[in-house]
Structure 1
């Protein structure tokens, strides 16, 4: 009975997150976004850039493509799993499956 309930509510990853008191999004590898006003965006768990101009940056993630639009957009920092975008951010949207 307990197993059936766990399977319906998110499976093994959700159970592990609950057991070890970890946030489920970190355990599942879901992207995490943090914005500082409209001037910076921090993204964890990206899998690469698909497009990069001063007006638009498309970042691939396990949950779909994150599209950032604005003016004078720049990559302030980029590692294998983290990305920091600066500039005047006007919109952030998910494109594709989420």
Structure 2
């Protein structure tokens, strides 16, 4: 039976995700990133804004710092869990 395989492909978090039929990123608390063209970026599960200008925005996450570079960047919306960045996005990178 497939469900009895413990941790062979994802360790404890993988087993928990499979047991409760949840995505592994949700169980691990990892950020979820969605881009709409080069104009808008949506990030879930952030830990705050570290740096902000109209050409670069650094967002802290559990996986490291997400750096967004571009032109006319702005925070379109922000809550405790989500941030939406708008403008001309030229680059997105993880800074460790």
Q: Which runs of 4+ in 1 moved over 2 A?
A: 8-12
TM-superposition CA deviations, 1:20-46 (whole Å, max 9, x none): 111100111101100000000000111
1:10 lines up with 2:10 in the alignment: yes
**Distance in 2 separating the partners of 1:36 and 1:10:** 30
For these two proteins, the number of residue pairs brought into alignment is 93
- Residue aligning to 1:63: 63
1:74 lines up with 2:74 in the alignment: yes
- Residue aligning to 2:84: 84
The structural deviation recorded for 1:12 is: 2.2
**RMSD of equivalent CA atoms:** 1.4
The structural deviation recorded for 1:10 is: 3.1
**Distance in 2 separating the partners of 1:10 and 1:16:** 9
**Distance in 2 separating the partners of 1:22 and 1:73:** 33
Give the TM-score of the pair, scaled to structure 2: 0.90
